[in-house]
A and B are shown apart, each in its own frame.
Chain A
């Protein structure tokens, strides 16, 4: 198999001393970011991107990806010990993780969380390893209309299956695309949507938007609820860890089911948060003791964690193979790729072999590194949370503004970050989804180019998107998904009236 050879080459890239130390640094920074409320994985990646401008792309992506794995682990730590999810995707872990910790089973809960998370992550990486090359080969057939169709489908998924109000999803995605269009138009060279402000000529950076939306917005929301960390003390003893390792295989059904759910939600833009909730729900439904869920059931920790991490890792697949990120964090990473001068998509597999396979190999290594590190450093990071939030929050604010500055050394970006912060808070309060906005900002220009190029290729007719079966299927599927929220209530009403009918007669 060609894949194996590529993977071996990837390991040669990943297993250098420099890259291993980047993984350790990335994972540790990630755990810190994951543990601190108000700093999440998308934001952590954003903070690091300006620092990677001078790095080799492989090293840069290894650093960013390791940070992501660290953040996923860090998020579960606070969920279990403090009942405060460090990441939205670890909310479901609090349901059973924190009750377990309160019963004095903190080590058990943490080990279950980390180990099943690692299982989920490795499952995701194996899926990527197997599917990456075929997916890229498939995507080689894509030209502009197909690309536009895939982008369209990705956003239609958000509207149709996202769970938030479809109108709010439209607002979020539309805002993202509009913001992406600000500044120089790549095709005609005209300066669009600048409203006469010279600062807007260079466009609105998605990095600044993420810092505001995820960083400052999240902090405002956290400050609003008076945050108190009343945690459970954690000391991880090796014997408890090994006991958990021994017990883990008996939960294999939950592990595999949750990893599959995670992979599916990661590859389609459902995202890790949806995946963790869904797999928690499934675990409860199929459990032999559903009443125990919410009171400290290990499977209630295993299910969301495995799904969360497998979604997180498998979200890298569509990003690498198609150039469509499966989660907000993957979107930010893809933005980074484009800043480094790489073109995410199938050509990456031909032109940048060591980049792609170095990254995939590093995902195996970094996840193992992350589990070991997180098990040993839990007490340390739990101690950080005992520092009063009155100091931590302003420090995070400083970090956010400093990194907004590093994006392009523009004072205007700091005001923008502040505005995006207010917007993020309002979005959060009113349940507007943020991920579509970030995704739209990152792929906005590519989507528009794909659209206009398809029009140029097909003489300006929308028939371009139905010119072959592949493209036509994707577009039709997308339109059906967009219309789904309109149709769904009717279908449901119809179904209930049919089942009600015999009773009425």
Chain B
């Protein structure tokens, strides 16, 4: 898995740092589960455990595991500078994630629906990252939306989220 691209690209995050971040996030997750469980009784009632009991102790399990993982990361015998993500990789991840977020924002926050979202997303990705020519990108993105439409709405009878555009076109 780990291909060390012999320092061609600057190391952005070391493995040690990433492990510590992951453990801290898990710690926060466990903490919020424990807090959430405390809304209810976490002890024993007349008929065994109360509703909060199970989530509370599961939160504790996460905290214990996260604390252990944190200690492991801190005292790890791995070479301290071992890279986890370099600048090139971070750029590729960002280039992948940003349009994906855009998809969700267009589809859900702007309430334009999944079909519009996927067309915009595929267009952006193909033109911007794939450097395809405009007609090819339009063909693929519109084609995908049409295939999905017939597959889900007509064949499987599972309606996907639609927005004002579909209403305006009278497609339901």
Binding site for B on A (CB under 8 A): 50-51, 54, 165-175, 177-178, 181, 185, 187-188, 190, 192-195, 216, 219-220, 223-226, 388, 390-391, 393-395, 397-398, 401-402, 405-406, 409, 411, 414-415, 418, 425-427, 429-430, 432, 448, 451-452, 455-456, 460
Contacts and interface: CB of A to CB of B under 8 A. Distances in A.
Given A224-B85, A448-B54, A168 B65 contact: yes
Contact of B160 (A170, A395, A402): A402
**Interface of A (DSSP majority class):** helix
B87 to A, nearest CB: 12
Given A51-B158, A226-B92, A452 B40 contact: no
21 contacts: A165-B68, A165-B69, A167-B64, A174-B30, A174-B62, A174-B65, A177-B58, A178-B55, A185-B51, A187-B51, A192-B36, A216-B100, A220-B93, A224-B85, A224-B93, A225-B1, A414-B104, A452-B48, A452-B49, A460-B47, A460-B48
Contact of B158 (A50, A188, A425): A50
A4 B114 CA distance: 50
A219 B96 CA distance: 9
Contact of A415 (B15, B59, B66, B108): B108
A224 B54 contact: no
B124 to A, nearest CB: 9
Given A192-B40, A418-B104, A455-B49, A223 B96 contact: yes
A390 B132 CA distance: 10
A448 B88 CA distance: 45
B52 A192 contact: yes
Contacts of A418: 100-101, 104
B96 A181 contact: no
B104 A432 contact: no
What 5 A-B pairs come out closest when comparing CB atoms?
A455-B48, A170-B65, A167-B68, A174-B61, A174-B62
A460 B44 contact: yes
Q: Tell me which of A178, A391, A429 has the highest count of chain B C-beta atoms within 10 A of its own C-beta.
A: A178
Nearest to B119: A398
A495 B39 CA distance: 49
A460 B148 CA distance: 53
A177 B59 CA distance: 9
Contact of B144 (A178, A393, A398): A398
B59 A174 contact: yes
A411 B36 contact: no
B84 interface: yes
A505 to B, nearest CB: 31
Contacts of A427: 22
Contacts of B58: 174, 177-178, 181
B51 A192 contact: yes
B114 A402 contact: yes
Interface in B68-106: 68-69, 72, 84-85, 88-89, 92-93, 95-97, 99-101, 103-104
A393 B19 CA distance: 27
A226 B88 CA distance: 9
Nearest to A449: B54
B3 A175 contact: no
Contacts of A190: 40, 51
A216 B135 CA distance: 28
Contacts of A187: 51
B48 A456 contact: yes
Contacts of B117: 401
Nearest to A485: B68
Contacts of A394: 99, 121-122, 125-126
A225 B30 CA distance: 31
A382 to B, nearest CB: 21
B152 interface: yes
B116 interface: no
A401 B33 contact: no
Nearest to B63: A174
Contacts of B85: 224, 429
B160 A405 contact: yes
Contact of A395 (B92, B122, B159): B122
Interface string B111-148: 00010011001100110011000000000100010001
A94 to B, nearest CB: 12
Interface string B1-45: 101000000000001001101100110011011001101100010
A497 B144 CA distance: 65
A178 B93 contact: no
B165 interface: no
B156 interface: yes
A410 to B, nearest CB: 9
A398 B100 CA distance: 9
Nearest to A412: B108
Given A167-B69, A220-B97, A414-B104, 12 more contacts: A166-B68, A167-B64, A192-B40, A216-B100, A223-B93, A390-B125, A395-B122, A397-B100, A401-B107, A406-B158, A406-B160, A460-B46
B55 A405 contact: no
Contact of B161 (A411, A455, A456, A460): A411
Q: Tell me which of B40, B96, B122, B152 has the highest count of chain A C-beta atoms within 10 A of its own C-beta.
A: B96
Contacts of B25: 426
A308 B97 CA distance: 33
Given A224-B89, A406-B158, A188 B62 contact: no
Contacts of B108: 411, 414-415
A211 to B, nearest CB: 13
B62 A429 contact: no
Nearest to A453: B48
Contacts of B152: 402, 406
